[in-house]
Amino acid sequence: MAEQSKIESTDNDEPKSGTQVIKAYLKNLSTSSGVYRMLDKNGTILYVGKANNLKNRVTSYTRLKGQSNRIARMIRATTEMEFILTDTESEALLLEATLIKKMKPRYNVLLRDDKSFPSILIRTDHEAPQLVKHRGARKQKGEYFGPFASAGSVNRTLNTLQQLFLLRDCTDSQYESRTRPCLQYQIKRCSAPCTGKISTEEYKSLVSDAKDFLRGKSSHIQKNLQVKMQNASKALKFEEAAFFRDRISALTQVQSHQSILPTGFEEGDVFAIHTEGGSACIQVFFIRTGQNWGNHAYYPRIDKSHSTSEILESFIAQFYDNKPVPKLILTSETIENETLLSEALSTKAERNIKVISPKRGSKAELMSHAHKNAKEALARKLAEGSAQSRHLEALKNLFTLEERPRRIEVYDNSHIQGSSPIGAMIVSGPEGLIKNQYRKFNFKPEEISGGDDFEMMRIMLRRRLKALVKDHGTKKYNNEDKTDTSKDQTAPPDEIPHWPDILLIDGGKGQLSAVMEIIKELDLNDIKIVAISKGPDRNAGREQFHIKDQPSFTMELKDPTLYYLQRLRDEAHRFAIGTHRTRRKKQMGTNPLDEIPGIGPGRKKALLSHFGSAKAVSRAGLKDLKAVDGISAQMAETIYDHFHE
C-alpha cells in the first residue's frame, strides 16, 4: 500500500535550490522503498524516480561531482522534494510509471504516443454473435482478440474473417429490423442469420471456427473446409463446392502472409531499441496465437545520458500501464532490473510474466529482425526531422520571425451551403504533424447564417485564443528584454509550447481581416498571422500569401517551402472535410423522435407505423397522438409539446 508523505526540511535557513536543499530531507527520510518527486521553484515536477531504499537514492543527489550534465542541471533546479512510500520495490516501479505518464516530467524517459490499440470482439450476449473492431475498455460481454498494431491490421483481419466465416457486423437494431438479406449476404460476406438464411446452430459453428482461427488453429479449419468441398463435389453441388474452394483460397493466402515465428512462441511482445544522435526508436511487435499481429514504432523522449537498458525499462513499465500484459516479453537489450520488472508486471497481470533478452536461437533471429526495423525507422525519422528543420528555418526568414517556429497552427472550415458547419485546427512542430493536438469546432445554427466563412473564422479563433489566455496566460513580451512572461516559458526546449508562433489561415484578405479583429479584441499582437489563398484559376503553386501591413506575395513555383506550406494547408483541409462528413453522416442518421424524452425503440416504431414518418408525427394533433397504441395521454402531450414549443 502506497503512503504519501511530504517530508519537510528541518534547517531554518533553507537554501533556495540544489544539493543543500536535498540534504535537508535526509534527516527525516525513511529507508523504505518508494517513489520520489523533484520539483523546481514554480512547483513543476522535474523528475519522478523509484528506489528500493529512498534514503540511499536521495543521498546520491547530494553531490554534483560524477553526475551527468542532465542530472546536474536537475539537481541545481530542485527546490522541493515529495515522497510516496510503498511496500515493495515492484509496487514503486508501477507507481513511478503511472506518475511519469500523468505528470510528464522533463528529465524522465517519456512515452509520448500512448494510444490504446484496437482489438477484435466476438460478442456473446446475442443469439447471433456480432464481429466488430473494438478499442478502449473491455466492458462488453464477449471474447477479445488482440491487441493489433494498427486499425489497418484489424480491418484486414476483419475482412478475412468475413470472407471465411460470414459473420455479421451489423448493429443489433439493424439486425432486428431486417426483413430481407442485405448487400453483405449478396456478396457472400454474411450468412444472413437475421432472416433465417442460416440456422442458429450452423451460425454458432461459424462463430466457433472464427474463434479457432483467431487462436491460431487455422490448419484444423482448412482440413474441415477441404472435407466439405469434396463432399459437395461428390454430391454434384458444384456451386457449394466453389464456395468452399474460395474460402480455402482466402485462408491459404492469410497463412502465406504470416511472418516466420519461433516454434512454440504463441504469445508475447517484442521490444527492440535503436539509438542514434540523441534520439531513440523502439519497435514493438505483437505476437498472439502464434501469429504476427503487426508492429508499431515509438520515439520516446530521452536524454543522451540515458542508457538503452534504462530507456527500455522505463518505456515498458509505462507501456503496460493501461494495456494487458502478455506471458512473455522479449527485449533487445538486457534490462538491469529485469527481475524487478518481471515481478512488477506479474503483480499487475496477476500471473507469471517473463522478461528476457534472447542471445541465440530463433527468438534472437526475431529480435534481430525487430532491431533492423527500429534502425530503419529511426533513420527515416531523423531524415524527416532534418528536412523539417530546414523548412522551419525557411519560415523564420520568410515571415521575419526572431527564431524558428516551434508551433504552427493551421485553420480551415467546411460546410455545404451553410449546413453542418465545422471548423478545424491542425498543429505542426519541429517533428512534424502533432495529431493528438488537432481540434475541431462545432457551430450552433444561430451562430452562423448562410455559411458565412468570415464569421466562422472569427468564432473559431475567438474560442481558441480565449481558451489559451485562460489556461496559459497572455503571450506578451516585456518591451525591454523580450522575455516571455506567459506560463508557457517553463516548457522544456524539446516540448511543443502552448502558444503558436504562426497562425496559418486558409483564405484571403477577408479571412485575414476577420482574424485580426479577434487579435485586436484580445490584445494579442505577437503572433504572426498568415493567410494563404489560391491563385488564379485555383492553381496549386500560384498561392498568394497575405500578412497584415504587407503587400501580398507569391513564391517560386518549385520552392520547397511552398510545398511545405501547401501540405500544411491541405492537411487542414483534409481534416476539416473528414470531420464535416462525419458530422453530416451522423445528422443524416438521426431521427427527430430520438430527441424526445421517454421515446424508446418500441414507441418510435409504433409512431412511425401509425403516421408513416417523423415529419407526419411532428404535424399530428394531440388527439391523433393519443390514438396510437402504447402512447399514453401524458406521453402524447410530451410529444406534442416537443414539436410545438
How far apart, in whole angstroms, are the C-alpha atoms of residue 136 and residue 334? 32
Pairing of strands 528-533, 502-506: parallel
CATH architecture assigned to 399-587: 2-Layer Sandwich (3.30)
Q: Which triple of cell numbers denotes residue 366?
A: 526475431
Q: How many CB atoms lie within 10 A of CB 629?
A: 10
Rounded to 10 deg, the angle between the 238-256 and 151-165 helix axes is 150
pLDDT, residue 614, reads 77
Going from N- to C-terminal start, the domains of the chain cover 3-103, 119-256, 268-380, 399-587, 592-643
Nearest-angstrom CA–CA distance, 77 and 61: 12
C-alpha angle 35-38-39 in degrees, rounded to nearest 5: 140
Question: 3-state DSSP helix/strand/coil percent for the chain, to nearest 5?
Answer: 45, 20, 40
- Relative to beta strand 354-356, strand 328-331 is parallel
Q: Which three cell numbers stand for residue 529?
A: 498571422
DSSP string over 25-51: HGGG--SS-EEEEEE-TTS-EEEEEEE
CA distance 130 to 207: 9
8 A C-beta contact, residue 502 and residue 399: yes
Find the DSSP H helices in 264-358.
Answer: 308-319, 338-349
Q: For the chain, give the mean pLDDT.
A: 82
Tell me the C-alpha distance between 476 and 353, whole Å.
53
CA angle 360, 361, 365 (to 5 degrees): 90
How many other CB atoms sit within 10 Å of the CB of residue 316?
23
Contacts of residue 422, Cβ cutoff 8 Å, sequence gap at least 6: 413, 414, 415, 440, 441, 442, 443, 576, 579, 580, 583
pLDDT at 154: 81
Instruction: Tell me the three cell numbers of residue 310.
Output: 534504462
Predicted confidence at residue 491, as pLDDT, reads 44
For residue 414, give the 3-state DSSP assignment. strand
* CA 500 to chain CA centroid, nearest Å: 22
Whether 374 contacts 124, CB under 8 Å:
no
CA 396 vs. chain centroid, Å, equals 30
- From 488, 605, 548, select the one nearest 177 (Cα to Cα): 605
For the chain, the distance separating the N- and C-terminal CA atoms, rounded to the nearest angstrom, is 57
**Which residues fall within 8 angstroms of residue 492, CB to CB, at 6 or more apart?**
106
Strands 328-331 and 291-298: unpaired
**Assigned CATH class of 592-643:** mainly alpha
* pLDDT tens per residue across span 37-57: 999 988 889 999 999 999 999
Q: Find out whether 326 and 306 touch, Cβ atoms under 8 Å.
A: no
The burial class, CB within 10 Å (0-12 / 13-18 / 19+), for 233 is middle
Q: Looking at domain 3-103, does it have CATH number 3.40.1440.10?
A: yes
Domains 3-103 and 399-587 share a fold: no
Domain covering 268-380, topology: Nucleotidyltransferase; domain 5 (3.30.420)
Q: Where are the alpha helices (DSSP H) in 444-588?
A: 453-472, 509-521, 560-588
User: What pLDDT does 481 receive?
Assistant: 36
pLDDT at 536: 64
The cell for 460 is 473559431
Other CB atoms closer than 10 Å to residue 633's CB: what's the count? 10
Q: What pLDDT is attached to residue 37?
A: 94
Cα 445 from Cα 73, distance rounded (Å): 53
| This prediction's pTM | 0.66
What is the secondary structure of 221-236 as a DSSP string? HHHHHHHHHHHHHHTT
Specify which residues 419 forms β-bridges with. 416
- Cα torsion 15, 17, 23, 29: sign: positive
Partners of 484 in the beta sheet?
477
535, 544 Cβ separation under 8 angstroms: yes
Phi then psi for residue 425, to 5 deg, are: -130, 130
Cell matching residue 200? 442458429
In 3D space, the residue among 493, 107, 112 whose CA is nearest the CA of residue 297 turns out to be 112
Distances (CA, A) of 617 to 125, 564, 612, 632: 34, 53, 8, 15
Handedness of CA 590, 594, 596, 602 (dihedral sign): positive
**Residue 69 corresponds to which cell in the numbers above?**
550534465
Give ∠ CA 371-374-379 in degrees, rounded to 5: 130
- Residue numbers in the chain where pLDDT is lower than 70: 1-17, 114, 218-219, 250-264, 415-420, 445-446, 448-451, 475-495, 535-541, 584-591, 645
- 310: nearest Cα among 349, 336, 343, 342: 336
What's the rounded Cα separation, in Å, for the pair 541 and 530? 17
Distance CA 246, CA 439 (A): 45
Predicted pLDDT at 250: 63
